[in-house]
Structure 1
Amino acid sequence: MKLSENEADVVEASNLQYIQSLLTSIPHTISFKGKWSLIEAKLSDLKSQLSDVTDFPANSLSVEILRSLSHTLSQALTLSLICHSLHLPSGKLKTQNDIDSISSKLTTHIHDLDILIKNGALDKNNENENDIVSKRESIRVESRNLITRLQIGSTESRNSALDSLLGLLQEDDKHVLIAVAQGVVPVLVRLLDSTSTSEIKEKTVTALARVSNVDSSKHVLIAEGLMLLHQLLRILESGSGFAKEKACIALLCLSHTKENARAIGSRGGICSLLEICDSGTPNSQAIAAGVLRNLARFAETGENFMEEDAISVLLTLASSGTLLAQEYSISCLSNLVRDDDNLKLLIVKRGVINCLKTFWDSNIDFRGLEVAVEFLKTLASDERVVDIIISDGFIQRIVNVLSCGVLAVRIQSAKAVYRLGCSNAKVRKELGEFGCIPPLIAMLDGKAIDERLAASKALSVMLICSGNRRIYRKEQKGIVSAVQLLDPSIPNLDKKYPVSILTSLTHSKKCRKQMVNSGALLYLQKLVEMEVDGAKKLQENIGRGKLWGVFSRP
């Protein structure tokens, strides 16, 4: 409710009168003179602050604080008069406690008034809707007022301010950006300390989770560093299930940096996250697995995962969690075993192939398959695992996704073909027989450089097999598509792979003629000058064929 200027003036005048009376009374105190001297110094600060407050029009927030101050000053005056005597009706210990309580309250009032003045919460525009010229400005003013309320007053008032803030943040991502710009994040981080109630902590971490979901605000959370991490990890250890889930959402944002990942691992965060994966709600399990996936990207956390027997928990979640939980668990396992062949073999023996197969076959729209194909590629780097992959029918699965509509999945599939093709001749032959070559040729014409590079790299290995070369020659666009990749003006595409593809086909006179007609010699001259591997040999092979054609009999 908006308050009148007269009411505000009365409260301000009352406080100044109380302060003056106290400053007159304190020199006459006999009991606890030292404590009263400290209070006297605080009264001087309050008097100065009240002078600043009177320079601004009153609003509900300032009058609320001034009323509370008036009550404290009244108590202080009564207590100071009692201390004019050595005889204390309530006893020495009780009176001392009362004086300490008054001193503490005055410190809180000084803190609250300081925030009120510095935050601009007394600005005349805060209470005058007619002066608000836009919706954006109104949100800015509301955010600033709520941020001020989060820093002052009672637990109940802060709790109420959090409710209002959460309502504001949930309405629109733009509201999040405005609140962040007004400085809400550092204030929320301070609210997560041990003195806050569990209810306030839940609401605070919910607000931080909301901020972490807006990309443009993530850097502000990251800037809070170890202080925020420490508070979030404490919630993972002892918070409610709801608070733990929200803490995991915030950690998804924070766990992308090596420094934060190391801190989370060294402070027991991986253990707490694994406990959530083991016994949390389906949604919290998925989010916790997502944080673990981020952490597993860094070698520094590997030992922490092994100490906590993470493999068992992740394998269980990969086989029985929600699709998102399975996706994150598989991605986490992929990161963990990436550079450890013995670990790859271990998780294969413990049934990870069946988990991968179930997850793969459940993703009918292909969108979640990027991590599965990438994991398959990681496992295929160990030749001991390749035969198991082949026997479980993954070649056909790869062929099916090479031509799917999801670019990232196609790229990972081509990389998996390359990795499998590097293993042995038998696998290369099977890849060709199952139909890998036509979709890979189609990928050579893709818009994305990464797709064209992945396809050319896979085909360069596939064409080591003579049977695969026959399949390639039957594809109408095979030669033209490979020649186009020789163009030096195409950036970030290693030319040695299309050179290798074409070189493997030069035994065919028809193919050599197609290469020449497609402009290969023009490109190759530039590639020779650039010293691209194999370019000179390819130029000689198809160039010699051209000269033979010139001098052949009619």
Structure 2
Amino acid sequence: MTPPPPASADALAQISQALLPSLLAAAASVKALQARWRALHATLLALQSSLAAAPPSAVSHPLFADLLASLLPPLRSLHALSARCHDPALPGGRLRLQSDLDMAASSLALLLHDLSLLLRSGILALDPPPNAIVLQVPAPAASRADKSLFIRDAFARLQIGGLDLKLKALASLLDLLLADASAAEIVATDGDVAALLRLLDASSHSALRDRAAAAVAHLATACAASRKVVFDEGGLGPLLRVLDSASAPATQERAVAAIEAITADVGTAWAVAAYGGVPVLINACRPGSASPVVQALAVSALRNVASIEDVRLALVEEGGLPVLVDLLTSGTSDTHRSAALCIWSLASLGDHDTQYQIVQAGALLPLLQALHTSAALDLHDAVLRAIHALAVVPAAARTLCASPLFFAQLTDLMCRGGSILLQQMAADMVAQLAPGVSDDIRRCMAPCICTLVKMMETAKPATVQEYAGRALLALMTLKSNRKELVRDDKSVTRLLHMLDPRNEEIDKKYPVSVVLALAMGGGNGTRKRLADAGVCQHLQRLAEAEVPGAKKALQRISGNRFKSLLSRGWNN
């Protein structure tokens, strides 16, 4: 083993064998300022115990050596102050003596805290001790014990060393986090995340704050365990302050990335309102206030928390609606989607006044524009949700009903296939708005009739049958659309299958209503086509089961011959 540096060994011997015994004796016997000396006596005893607990190899550790060197000045100062306190004349005066004693005691307490941290970290037990300022970053294949030791060493240097040492410790910690996917969880378990968060304070050096923000952002986005520790240690508040401050763009991006990840967890999203984060996120979304990356992440965070009532109220009160409307036409597709989903949450969960305010803020037209110009299905989903929630406002409904392009888009969304939920929303919009549109618009929607019949066969979710059925009935008011349906053999076959009493997955309400609409206004050709397909057999059994509309539909399709036969059968 390499012999310890003489300076460190000498300092330890001087402290342990000369200064501490002398100070402990003085603290017990001094007459002036006895209360302060009693408190100092406890601190000196704790220091003596901590130094005795340090392993023999500790004197060779660079951090321990620096700490010993830092202990000498306050201990020597206390030794000189003890002599003054023993002098009845109290040289320099009592107040000056009291002030000098408090300063020395404060320095000693801070150094004792650093020593305790070093002992708890376990890095003083390394044999041989490291000579490097910061330990070498362990490879991803290294053992967990090696990674844990490195992390504890980095956090010790982060809290004890000077600026240069702290920056190097943060750099090495970031290297580990970026190179090793498992490191975040070990940092959360074995590191001091609270110490990392303290570096986000505005009083910290800007370089420290930037690197600390990068490390915290990685912990918040890496895994659920490290994200939870960041939140539990109170990380959301400092992150919001970093975002709200005039930080470097890269630092703001890291801070808002961490905020977005924390708000994605339902169990932690509520805290945004508690920390006053809603206006901070709104300001980050304003045009020109931050980079496009910050805007996209900030509106995504707002989307995450918009389902919380306190957040919804704050969003409206803090002037967030015009900002969200602006984001529908600026930034990336992801920004548009998040803004649309945020508006959807506000409209679907808010009251009628909120819905009206969203429409008054001008949200409908950019939503329609996004629906018409984008090819991304996920954006279509978000936009259609928002439009659907706003359609209950009369002014919005009138605008939509007057837009042939909007209904053409709904037709296209249903016909192209893809997400059944997206098709379901489009069908519900048709059912809701079609009664208020012109015959020309309903006629242009004929291409989706076969799709709606097919959707009525879908068992899950159950509401898709209802929405498709209602939409189909709304289009059946037009004779040309009724003819379009019966001309399609597959659609007629599907209706026959849905009417079959043995098919218990399908609610008979809407298939019967569609057949009745065809029979009531489709003409003799339509009724004959349905009869030839075998619809009457199923309708007769449904009529016997007293399914609403089945008897009337059977009468219209079968004519007098079937009507008289059915009448005799029922009388018997």
Q: How would you bin the TM-score normalised by the shorter chain?
A: 0.7 to 0.9
Query: 1: CA distance between counterparts of 2:6 and 2:496?
Result: 85
**Who is 2:524 aligned against?**
none
State how 1:261-410 maps to structure 2 within 5 Å: 263-265=271-273, 267-278=275-286, 279-338=289-348, 339-392=350-403, 393-404=405-416, 407=419
The residue type equivalent to 1:471 in the other structure is E
Query: 1: CA distance between counterparts of 2:501 and 2:219?
Result: 45
Judge which range, 36-45 or 325-334, deviates more: 36-45
Alignment equivalent of 1:228, drawn from 217, 222, 235: 235
Residue 247 of structure 2 is aligned to residue 240 of structure 1: yes
- Is residue 411–residue 454 contact of structure 1 (8 Å, CA) maintained in 2? no
The residue type equivalent to 2:384 in the other structure is V
- Is residue 158–residue 169 contact of structure 2 (8 Å, CA) maintained in 1? yes
Judge which range, 334-343 or 118-127, deviates more: 118-127
Measured after TM superposition, the shift of residue 418 of structure 1 is 0.8
Measured after TM superposition, the shift of residue 286 of structure 1 is 1.8
Query: 1: CA distance between counterparts of 2:3 and 2:493?
Result: 87
State how 1:45-444 maps to structure 2 within 5 Å: 45-54=46-55, 58=58, 63-83=61-81, 84-85=83-84, 86=87, 99-122=101-124, 124=126, 134-135=141-142, 137=144, 138-183=146-191, 185-193=193-201, 196-217=204-225, 220-221=228-229, 223-224=231-232, 227-242=234-249, 243-256=251-264, 263-265=271-273, 267-278=275-286, 279-338=289-348, 339-392=350-403, 393-404=405-416, 407=419, 411-427=421-437, 430=441, 433-434=444-445, 435-441=447-453
Quickly say closer, same or farther: Cα 1:76–1:178, change in 2 above 3 A.
closer
Measured after TM superposition, the shift of residue 94 of structure 1 is 7.2
- Is residue 421–residue 428 contact of structure 1 (8 Å, CA) maintained in 2? no
Measured after TM superposition, the shift of residue 482 of structure 1 is 6.7
Partner secondary structure for residue 154 of structure 2: helix
- Is residue 493–residue 533 contact of structure 2 (8 Å, CA) maintained in 1? yes
Measured after TM superposition, the shift of residue 36 of structure 1 is 4.8
The residue type equivalent to 1:326 in the other structure is H
1:500-545 deviation per Cα after TM superposition (whole angstroms, max 9, x unaligned) = 23552265576578688999999x99xx9xxxxx968769978999
- Is residue 19–residue 73 contact of structure 1 (8 Å, CA) maintained in 2? no
Residue 12 of structure 2 is aligned to residue 11 of structure 1: no
- Is residue 515–residue 542 contact of structure 1 (8 Å, CA) maintained in 2? no
Query: 1: CA distance between counterparts of 2:492 and 2:307?
Result: 39
- Is residue 15–residue 66 contact of structure 1 (8 Å, CA) maintained in 2? no
Measured after TM superposition, the shift of residue 461 of structure 1 is 0.5
Query: 2: CA distance between counterparts of 1:521 and 1:177?
Result: 67
Query: 2: CA distance between counterparts of 1:152 and 1:488?
Result: 79
- Is residue 277–residue 284 contact of structure 1 (8 Å, CA) maintained in 2? yes
Query: 1: CA distance between counterparts of 2:160 and 2:539?
Result: 74
Judge which range, 91-100 or 350-359, deviates more: 91-100
Query: 1: CA distance between counterparts of 2:176 and 2:499?
Result: 55
1:302-334 deviation per Cα after TM superposition (whole angstroms, max 9, x unaligned) = 332232222222222323333333322222222
- Is residue 236–residue 244 contact of structure 1 (8 Å, CA) maintained in 2? yes
- Is residue 328–residue 366 contact of structure 2 (8 Å, CA) maintained in 1? yes
Query: 1: CA distance between counterparts of 2:290 and 2:36?
Result: 51
Alignment equivalent of 2:20, drawn from 14, 20, 23: 23
Measured after TM superposition, the shift of residue 213 of structure 1 is 2.3
- Is residue 401–residue 436 contact of structure 2 (8 Å, CA) maintained in 1? no
Query: 2: CA distance between counterparts of 1:327 and 1:489?
Result: 43
Query: 2: CA distance between counterparts of 1:380 and 1:108?
Result: 63
Measured after TM superposition, the shift of residue 375 of structure 1 is 1.2
Measured after TM superposition, the shift of residue 395 of structure 1 is 1.2
- Is residue 479–residue 502 contact of structure 1 (8 Å, CA) maintained in 2? no
1:152-188 deviation per Cα after TM superposition (whole angstroms, max 9, x unaligned) = 4344433332222222222343333343343554443
- Is residue 303–residue 338 contact of structure 2 (8 Å, CA) maintained in 1? yes
Query: 1: CA distance between counterparts of 2:6 and 2:241?
Result: 45
- Is residue 278–residue 314 contact of structure 2 (8 Å, CA) maintained in 1? yes
Gaps of at least 5 residues in structure 2 are: 520-526, 567-572
- Is residue 40–residue 105 contact of structure 2 (8 Å, CA) maintained in 1? yes
- Is residue 296–residue 332 contact of structure 1 (8 Å, CA) maintained in 2? yes
1:312-368 deviation per Cα after TM superposition (whole angstroms, max 9, x unaligned) = 222223233333333222222222222444444444354323312332344234343
Partner secondary structure for residue 379 of structure 2: coil
Measured after TM superposition, the shift of residue 388 of structure 1 is 0.9
Measured after TM superposition, the shift of residue 471 of structure 1 is 3.4
Query: 1: CA distance between counterparts of 2:308 and 2:152?
Result: 39
Measured after TM superposition, the shift of residue 15 of structure 1 is 1.6
Query: 1: CA distance between counterparts of 2:494 and 2:147?
Result: 55
Partner secondary structure for residue 351 of structure 1: coil
- Is residue 177–residue 183 contact of structure 2 (8 Å, CA) maintained in 1? yes
Query: 2: CA distance between counterparts of 1:11 and 1:519?
Result: 99
The residue type equivalent to 2:110 in the other structure is T
Q: Which has the larger radius of gyration?
A: 2
State how 1:455-474 maps to structure 2 within 5 Å: 455-465=464-474, 466=476, 467=478, 468-474=481-487
The residue type equivalent to 1:64 in the other structure is P
Measured after TM superposition, the shift of residue 285 of structure 1 is 1.6
Gaps of at least 5 residues in structure 1 are: 529-533
1:261-280 deviation per Cα after TM superposition (whole angstroms, max 9, x unaligned) = 55433553222222222222
TM-score calculated relative to the size of structure 1: 0.77
Measured after TM superposition, the shift of residue 432 of structure 1 is 6.2
Query: 1: CA distance between counterparts of 2:500 and 2:217?
Result: 48
The residue type equivalent to 2:217 in the other structure is A
Q: Aligned-pair RMSD on alpha carbons? A: 4.6
Query: 1: CA distance between counterparts of 2:179 and 2:500?
Result: 51
Query: 1: CA distance between counterparts of 2:121 and 2:382?
Result: 47
Residue 505 of structure 2 is aligned to residue 505 of structure 1: no
Quickly say closer, same or farther: Cα 1:90–1:140, change in 2 above 3 A.
same
Judge which range, 36-45 or 385-394, deviates more: 36-45
The residue type equivalent to 1:357 in the other structure is L
Quickly say closer, same or farther: Cα 1:34–1:348, change in 2 above 3 A.
closer
Identity of aligned residues (%): 22
TM-score calculated relative to the size of structure 2: 0.75
Partner secondary structure for residue 182 of structure 2: helix
Query: 2: CA distance between counterparts of 1:541 and 1:418?
Result: 25
- Is residue 188–residue 229 contact of structure 2 (8 Å, CA) maintained in 1? no
**Who is 1:531 aligned against?**
none
1:446-477 deviation per Cα after TM superposition (whole angstroms, max 9, x unaligned) = 8x944xx4642332112224244543444444
Residue 52 of structure 2 is aligned to residue 42 of structure 1: no
Query: 1: CA distance between counterparts of 2:282 and 2:119?
Result: 46
Judge which range, 108-117 or 341-350, deviates more: 341-350
Partner secondary structure for residue 328 of structure 2: helix
